[in-house]
């Protein structure tokens, strides 16, 4: 169950990184999130990713948010996910 949460976090990080890169933005903190997951620190990665999204004003599609929330639920960290700035959440169909 935990490895599944790890996979979800990595997939969300990949999507955020690709969109940031398409806008010419490099967000090294996303690599740190990936490193935390690789080092079996997924709970810390959840918190760090939320901070990164808010700090760098990274938009998150609704489907990514839903997957991220499901990973956080599995890790018992769902309460933290609500700290993402709602203005950064966009419908899945929007070009974030």
pLDDT for res 92 = 76
pLDDT for res 50 = 97
- Average pLDDT taken over every residue of the chain: 92
For range 2-18, the mean pLDDT: 91
Distance separating alpha carbons of residues 11 and 15, to the nearest angstrom:
6
Bridge partners, 89 (sequence order): 60
In tens, the pLDDT along 32-50 reads: 999 999 999 999 999 999 9
- Does position 1 have pLDDT exceeding 50, yes or no? no
Report DSSP letters for the chain, one per residue: -HHHHHHHHHHHHHHHHHHHHHTT---HHHHHHHHHHHTT-HHHHHHHHHHHHHHHT--EEHHHHHHHHHHHHHTT-HHHHTTS-GGGEE-TTS--
Whether 84 and 50 have beta carbons less than 8 Å apart is answered as: yes
For the chain, the structural domain boundaries read: 2-86
Please state whether the predicted TM-score (pTM) of the whole model is above 0.85.
yes
In tens, the pLDDT along 57-85 reads: 999 999 999 999 999 999 999 999 999 99
């Amino acid at each position: 169950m935990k490895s599944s949460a790890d996979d979800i976090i990595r997939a969300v990080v990949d999507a955020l990184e690709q969109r940031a890169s398409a806008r010419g933005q490099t967000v090294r903190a996303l690599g740190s999130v990936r490193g935390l997951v690789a080092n079996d620190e997924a709970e810390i990665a959840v918190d760090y990713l939320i901070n990164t999204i808010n700090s760098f004003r990274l938009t998150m599609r609704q489907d990514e948010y839903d997957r991220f929330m499901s990973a956080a639920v599995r890790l018992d960290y769902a309460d933290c996910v609500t700290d993402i700035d709602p203005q950064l959440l966009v419908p899945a169909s929007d070009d974030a």
